Amino acid sequence: MTKKKTRRIYVGTVPIGGGAPVAVQSMTNTDTRDIPATVEQVNRLSAAGCEIVRLAVIDNEAALALKKIKAEVDVPLIADIHFDHRLAIEALRAGADGLRINPGNIGSPKAVETVVREAKDRGVPIRIGVNGGSLQKEILSKYGSPTPEAMVESALQHIAMLEDLGFEQMKISLKSSSVRKTIRAYEILSRKVDYPLHLGVTEAGSLISGTVKNSIGIGYLLANGIGDTFRVSLTRDPVDEIKVAYEILRALDLRHRGPEIISCPTCGRCEIDLFGLVDRVEKSLEGMIASPKVAIMGCVVNGPGEAREADIGIAGGRGQGILFKKGELVRKIPESELAHELIQELRKMTE
Ligand code: SF4
């Protein structure tokens, strides 16, 4: 794939665009004013590999909370602001590393100018977040519905608004709950501007449907070299968004974090509890940063082949499994000890 060239911006210390690794983001779903709960969630997200965290700043108390939250976490924080430009100013003064605004709903041109000047003085980037569900009335009536072209026109207007103020530290998102519209909109915009693009499919849904929509939308764009950072959107604990994000990056061979489990779907030949084994191994390896390939296969048909290709692997047999390491058969292990032995061996390999 050829990566689309974009400019480089920084959210805190995290580079976005300009050839930087695709950065993984998420958003807290705690009440930002609840400082302990938000700090706890930000830290869980960070431990899972989230590199930038966005928080909803819904009032002045939330903007003030941001300052205290920032003092207790290590990842850059983006303030998500709607409707009231004064909250954006407060968030910047509280130390926000980035702003996510929709210039069309933040207030008058004068209000936008105040926010942009304050962000510029502090060297803080702004994400223009265009959402198919909240386009300007005149654009909607021109296109009849939130088409990809309508979303792009909205983005270009907002970009021009910031450029007229001499501001270029921006990234753009064009979100729709339709995967096809999302893809099309980003494809069009990426040909028109070289600002970094923040990918996302909004309101994607629960774990299974949301994972599929995000993976197809974000994955398709990344596979075509479009996108510098992204957030997987799920109706779930946001930590699950990070797990899905890294699986998307791994599937495209863009970034690797955590072990890659290669396991078969099982069939009538399988004579061990493979589902239980995979679950146990996955759970106990949660949080691992190293990314060994781990094959867990049900039988000797494809098992030894896959297990040999992996860094470590198991091929199941009747009430037992064969352990392979770096292509070498190591030993036979009774089924009851398979999970424990595999985890021990993996920890030894990665420590
Ligand atoms: Fe079936 Fe064996 Fe293939 Fe698993 S590896 S799907 S058990 S044939």
Report d(CA 64, CA 59) in Å as an integer.
9
- 237-254 average pLDDT score: 96
Phi then psi for residue 85, to 5 deg, are: -65, -25
The whole-angstrom separation of Cα 234 and Cα 241 is 6
Looking at the fold, whether 282 and 330 belong to one and the same domain comes out as: yes
Is residue 4 one of the residues assigned to a domain? no
Tell me, yes or no, whether 61 and 194 share the same domain: yes
Question: Do residues 183 and 330 share a domain?
Answer: no
Q: Whose CA is nearest to atom 8 of ligand 1?
A: 301
Do 118 and 199 belong to one domain? yes
For residue 20, the 8-state DSSP code is P
- Ligand 1 atom showing the smallest separation from residue 306 Cα: 5
Which two three-digit tokens encode residue 42?
């930000």
In a domain, 23, yes or no: yes
One domain for residues 169 and 313 = no
Domain boundary among 219, 251, 283: 251
Structural domains counted in the chain: 2
Same domain, yes or no, for 101 and 212?
yes
Long-range contacts at 283-291 (CB < 8 A, ≥ 24 apart)? 284/339, 284/343, 285/258, 285/259, 285/343, 285/346, 287/47, 287/48, 287/258, 288/258, 288/259, 288/350, 289/49, 289/257, 289/258, 290/258, 290/259, 290/350, 291/250, 291/256, 291/257, 291/258, 291/259, 291/260
User: Which of the listed residues 261, 262, 263, 269 should we mutate to test ligand 1's pocket, taking the one with most ligand atoms within 8 A of CB?
Assistant: 269
Compute, in angstroms, the gap from residue 263 CA to the centroid of ligand 1: 9
- What lines the ligand 1 site, CB under 6 Å? 264-267, 269-270, 297-299, 301-303
Distances in whole angstroms, Cα of residue 132 to Cα of each of 135, 179, 185, 194: 6, 12, 10, 21
103-126: per-residue pLDDT in tens? 777 778 899 999 999 999 999 999
Question: CA dihedral in degrees (178, 179, 182, 184; nearest 10)?
Answer: -110
Asked if residue 146 has pLDDT above 80, the reply is yes
Are residues 271 and 133 part of one domain?
Answer: no
Phi, then psi, of 30 in degrees rounded to 5: -85, 165
Q: In this structure, what is the dihedral angle of CA atoms 209, 213, 215, 220, given to the nearest 10 degrees?
A: 160
Q: Examine the domain organization and report whether 336 and 231 are in the same domain.
A: no
Q: Is the pLDDT of residue 164 over 80?
A: yes
15 with 26: CB under 8 angstroms? no
Of the residues 251, 279, 304, the one at which a domain ends: 251
Both 84 and 132 in one domain: the answer is yes
Ligand 1 pocket mutation, candidates 261, 262, 264, 272, criterion most atoms within 8 A of CB: 264
- C-alpha to C-alpha distances, 217 to 27, 76, 132, 233, 259, nearest whole angstrom: 19, 25, 15, 11, 24
Nearest CA to ligand 1 atom 6: 266
Domain residues for the domain of 134 are 9-251
| 3-class secondary-structure state, position 223 | helix
Pair (346, 209) in one structural domain: no
Q: Which atom of ligand 1 is nearest to the CA of 268?
A: 1
Q: Is 48 part of any domain? A: yes
Mark whether 32 and 166 lie in a shared domain. yes
**Confidence tier at 326 by pLDDT (50, 70, 90):** confident
Last residue of a domain, one of 195, 220, 251: 251
Q: What's the token pair of residue 160?
A: 């021009």
Q: Are residue 288 and residue 246 in the same domain, yes or no? A: no
Q: Place 349 in a pLDDT band, splitting at 50, 70 and 90.
A: confident
Q: Is 69 contained in some domain?
A: yes
Nearest CA to ligand 1 atom 1: 267
28 domain residue, yes or no: yes
Q: Is residue 161 part of a domain?
A: yes
**Separation between Cα atoms, residue 84 and residue 224, nearest integer Å:** 37
pLDDT of 175 above 90 = no
Q: From the CA of 316, how far away is ligand 1's center (Å)? A: 9
Residue 307 alpha carbon to ligand 1 centre in Å: 12
Which ligand 1 atom lies nearest to the CA of residue 297?
A: 5
What CATH number did the domain enclosing 177 receive? 3.20.20.20
271 CA distance to ligand 1 middle (Å) = 10
Residue 2 lies in a domain: no
Mean pLDDT of all residues in the chain?
93
Percent of the chain whose predicted confidence (pLDDT) is above 70: 100
Q: Which atom of ligand 1 is nearest to the CA of 270?
A: 7
Tens-place pLDDT, residues 184-203: 999 999 999 999 999 998 87
198 in a domain, yes or no? yes
318 CA distance to ligand 1 middle (Å):
13
CA 25 to chain CA centroid, Å, is 4
Helix and strand numbers, DSSP H then E, in the chain: 12, 15
The CATH number for 303's domain is 3.30.413.10
* Residues 7 and 194 sit within 8 Å (Cβ to Cβ): yes
Instruction: Return the best residue to mutate from 261, 263, 270 for the ligand 1 pocket (most ligand atoms within 8 A of CB).
Output: 270
